[in-house]
Amino acid sequence: METVLATHPIAGLIVDVILFGTSGILHAFDIMEKEDVFKRTPCPAFLMFENAAYLAEMSIELPCNCKPEEVSSVVWYFQKNMGSQQTKVLTDFDGTMVVDSTHIKVGTDMLRRFSIRMFSLIVFRVQVEDSGHYICGTKKGDYFYGYDVDVQASKRIRVAFTEKNQHPNKDKEGKQYKIFTAFWDWTICNRCDVRGEQRRIGLCYIKSPYLVRRYRTATAEVASCGSGSIPKQFKRAIKNRKPEIVIRSCSEPCRVKIPASEGEESLSDAISKLGETPWISKIPIQFHKQALGTDLIISCPGARPEHAVAWDKDSTRLYLDKFLTGVNKSMRVFIDYGNHLHIRFAQLSDKGIYFCWREGELVAGFRLSVMYESRRKRSFDDPEAQYAIKTIFTFYVLLTFIFITIHGVRFCMYAFKRPG
C-alpha cells in the first residue's frame, strides 16, 4: 500500500540562510507572529518529544514552539538517547551562530553545522548520526519543547521507476505492528517542453499501539522507524527497511521563453540547436578545465536535495532511469541522490556543455574541457594516488593470503602423510 505524507508540519522555513520546506515553497517569516504564538501556546507541564523524520543531506529547522514570554534567548540541547548523561549544548550563549551553508560539507562536525535564528534551531546537511533528541530551553536548565529527530540514510535507498513497472515496497505486518513507507508529495516536473521526470521521497514508518507515550506524533500510534518511541523488540523488524524514491515521467510547458531573432523559441528548442549556437545567452555559463583521468562533481546552483533537478549534456538528456546512481554499478557518469552530477576518470569524450535544470527551469550551464596534464606532480592527496595505493595494497594482502593458504595446506598434507 502506498501511503502519502504531505509536507512535514515541522519542516520549518529557514530565513536568509536556507528557506525551504519539503515541498520547496518559499514563505515569509514575521517576528511578531512568532511572539503571538508564544503568548497563546503554553508550554506542557511534562516535556514531550515531537517526532520528525528526514532524509540524510537535507537541511532542517526545528522551531521552539513554546517558551515563557519573559525569555529573550534560548539554548538548544542534544541527547542521542533520552536520559543520557552525554548532552551537547548547541549555542554560544552570547547570541546566535550565523553559518554560510555553502561552506558546510559532508562530515563537518555537528557544532559547525547548526545555527539559531529567532529561537529556532537550524541544522545544515543532517546526517544519520544527528538522529536523537533536541530540546529547547535556557542555560539554567529549564526545558520548554523537544523533538525526536529521525534522520534516515540516503545510501542504498530503494528506487522504483513507474515506467519500468516497479512499485514501492509492500507493507510489513506483524501481530503488534505494521511497517510501511509514507511518501511526501511529488516534486514538480524537472524539465519543461520536453519529457521530464518527477520524484517523491518515502520514509519508513511504523504503526503500533505499543509506542512510548512520551513521544508525540502527527498521527496517533504512528512514528518514524528511527524514533525513540519504538520498543526495542520492534527494532529487529525494521532494521532492513530502507527509505524509497519513486520516479515517473512528466511533461510540462515552459513558463519562460527565450526571444529569438525570428519570433520566440522554447528552451528545449534552443538546446537542440547547440550545433548552431555555442551557448544560450540568457543562461549563465561557467567554464571549467579538467585534467584527463581525474574525478569531477558538478552541483546545480541553488539546488537542494529536495528540489527537482535534471542534467543535460549538449543535446543529450541524462534521465534518471539511466544515470541515477545505483542503476548500473559500473557507471562512470551518474547523478547522486543529492542531485550532483559525477564524472569519474574524465575522458576526452566528456567535454561539452552540461546544462542544469532546477524546479523545471534551465538555470545554468557548464562548459567542460578535458585536457592532458603534463609533468603533473603527484601527492598522496590526489584521488588517483589514493586509489592506486589502495589497489596495490589490496592485491598485496590478497596475494599474501593466497601464499600463506597454499603453504598451510601443503604443510598439513605433508604432516598427515608422514608415517606413524
Query: Among all chains, which residue has been given the C-alpha cell 496517533?
Result: 220
| Residue 21 domain-assigned (yes or no) | yes
| Residue 20 domain-assigned (yes or no) | yes
- pLDDT confidence of residue 54: 92
* In a shared domain, residues 150 and 297: no
* In a shared domain, residues 112 and 227: yes
- Looking at residues 301-319, what average pLDDT do you find? 90
CA distance 371 to 239: 47
Counting residues of the chain whose pLDDT is more than 70, the rounded percentage is 74
* In a shared domain, residues 66 and 29: yes
Query: Among all chains, which residue has been given the C-alpha cell 550532483?
Result: 340
| Residue 231 domain-assigned (yes or no) | yes
- pLDDT confidence of residue 383: 65
pLDDT at 289 over 60: yes
pLDDT at 227 over 60: yes
C-alpha cell at 131: 538522529
pLDDT at 335 over 50: yes
**Structural domain of 243:** 3-247
- Looking at residues 20-37, what average pLDDT do you find? 37
* In a shared domain, residues 275 and 231: no
Give the number of other CB atoms < 10 A from CB of residue 331.
15
- Looking at residues 208-224, what average pLDDT do you find? 89
pLDDT at 15 over 50: no
* In a shared domain, residues 217 and 272: no
* In a shared domain, residues 167 and 28: yes
pLDDT at 328 over 50: yes
* In a shared domain, residues 267 and 294: yes
* In a shared domain, residues 236 and 296: no
Domain end marker among 371, 390, 414: 371
| Residue 400 domain-assigned (yes or no) | no
- Looking at residues 47-68, what average pLDDT do you find? 88
- pLDDT confidence of residue 16: 33
- pLDDT confidence of residue 204: 94
| Residue 407 domain-assigned (yes or no) | no
Give the number of other CB atoms < 10 A from CB of residue 7.
13
Name which of 87, 99, 5 is nearest 61 in CA terms.
Answer: 99
- pLDDT confidence of residue 382: 65
- Looking at residues 82-111, what average pLDDT do you find? 57
Domain end marker among 247, 280, 303: 247
* In a shared domain, residues 87 and 125: yes
User: Which position has the higher pLDDT, 225 or 97?
Assistant: 225
- CATH label of the domain that carries residue 327: 2.60.40.10
**pLDDT, tens digit (0-9, with 9 covering 90-100), for 157-168:** 889 999 899 988
* In a shared domain, residues 71 and 169: yes
Q: Among 9-13, 307-311, 371-375, name the one with the lowest average pLDDT.
A: 9-13
- pLDDT confidence of residue 99: 42
- pLDDT confidence of residue 236: 87
pLDDT at 419 over 70: no
| Residue 181 domain-assigned (yes or no) | yes
- Looking at residues 242-251, what average pLDDT do you find? 93
**pLDDT, tens digit (0-9, with 9 covering 90-100), for 382-400:** 666 777 788 888 888 999 9
- pLDDT confidence of residue 9: 35
Contact 186, 247 (CB under 8 A): no
Dihedral sign from CA coordinates of 346, 347, 352, 357: negative
Average pLDDT, the chain: 78
- Indicate the number of domains in the chain: 2
- pLDDT confidence of residue 218: 82
* In a shared domain, residues 236 and 266: no
User: Which position has the higher pLDDT, 392 or 39?
Assistant: 392
| Residue 415 domain-assigned (yes or no) | no
* In a shared domain, residues 194 and 291: no
| Residue 393 domain-assigned (yes or no) | no
CA distance 193 to 57: 30
| Host H or E run for residue 397 | helix 383-417
Domain end marker among 247, 278, 304: 247
Confidence of residue 12 (pLDDT cuts 50, 70, 90): very low
Contact 199, 246 (CB under 8 A): yes
Q: Is the pTM of this model over 0.85?
A: no
